[in-house]
Amino acid sequence: TDQKTIIPHKAFEESPRWSPDGSRILWGSTRDGNPELYSCKADGSDVKRLTSDVAFDLHPAWSPDGKKIAFTSGRSGRQKIYVTNADGSDVKKLTDGDGLDAWPAWSPDGKRIAFVTHQPGNYDIHVIKADGTGRTPLVTHPAQDTSPTWSPDGKRLGFISTRDGGSDVYLLTLK
């Protein structure tokens, strides 16, 4: 295998994501001290800081058309899902409420975002429309349900659950 470091930095780097057209890579990093979002060309050049807030910005996800980025941020005082343009402009909060929301995952058609929500002692999976409306619980169970991922046709959602005592992969057929 041909492995090389394209972003050498002594920082916490997490959640690298390819842009839908394969031209850029998006990730979260503490390279400037605070966790923020960055992108670069696929060869590691043209590194751009996309967010700048005293709170953390992590767990980025490209929209299928590459025009938007959903991410987790603590900028409202509680961990919530936000969306920004691909250049980091026009940041908007999409989720509200008492729980902590994280790990957004766009549906293949770009119309919905699944995410993990945490209420004390429990992790479930909810979905919202891309504009933040229509919050709906998809997976609710006393176990820990995390890591939502959409099937390419958007008809199923994969996730990890501890409901059988281990961390297992589950599939949910959507209506």
- Residues 76 and 148: their CA atoms lie apart, in Å, by 23
Full-model pTM: 0.91
Query: Cα 159 vs. chain centroid, distance in angstroms?
Result: 14
Band of residue 116 on the pLDDT scale cut at 50, 70, 90? very high
100 belongs to a structural domain: no
Regarding whether 87 and 112 lie in a shared domain, the answer is: no
Locus of tokens 């008492």 = 98
pLDDT band at 8 (very low <50, low <70, confident <90, very high): low
User: Of 93, 126, 141, which marks where a domain is finished?
Assistant: 93
77 and 145 in a single domain? The answer is no
Same domain, 88 and 112: no
Final residue belonging to a domain, choices 93, 121, 140: 93
Q: Are 28 and 109 part of one and the same domain?
A: no
Alpha-helical (H) ranges within 14-97 are none
* Claim to verify: residue 62 and residue 111 sit in the same structural domain: no
Q: How many domains does the chain have?
A: 2
**Within a domain: 98:** no
Closest to 59 measured CA to CA, from 69, 68, 47 = 69
- Same domain, yes or no, for 86 and 134? no
Does 88 lie in the same domain as 141? Answer: no
Structure tokens at 57: 């910005």
For residues 137 and 78, state if they share a domain.
no
66 and 119 inside one domain: no
Q: Is residue 99 part of a domain?
A: no
Reply yes or no on whether the pLDDT at 5 is more than 80.
no
Asked, for residue 157, whether it belongs to a domain, the answer is yes
Q: In terms of domains, do 5 and 85 share one?
A: yes
12 domain-assigned = yes
Q: Domain residues for 46?
A: 1-93
Candidates 37, 8, 36, 35; CA nearest to 24 is 37
Q: Which residue has the tokens 């603590």?
A: 74
111 and 165, same domain (yes or no)? yes
pLDDT digits (tens, 9 = 90+) for 39-51: 999 999 999 999 9
Q: Mark which of 93, 128, 158 sits at the end of a domain.
A: 93
Tokens of 14: 């997490």
**Could you give the CA distance from residue 112 to residue 105 in angstroms, rounded to a whole number?**
8
Q: Tell me, yes or no, whether 28 lies in a domain.
A: yes
Helices then strands (H, E): number in the chain? 0, 15
Q: For 54-113, how does the pLDDT look when each residue is reduced to its tens digit (9 = 90+)?
A: 999 999 999 999 999 999 999 999 999 999 999 999 999 999 988 899 999 999 999 999
pLDDT of residue 11 exceeding 80, the answer is no
For residues 77 and 109, state if they share a domain.
Answer: no
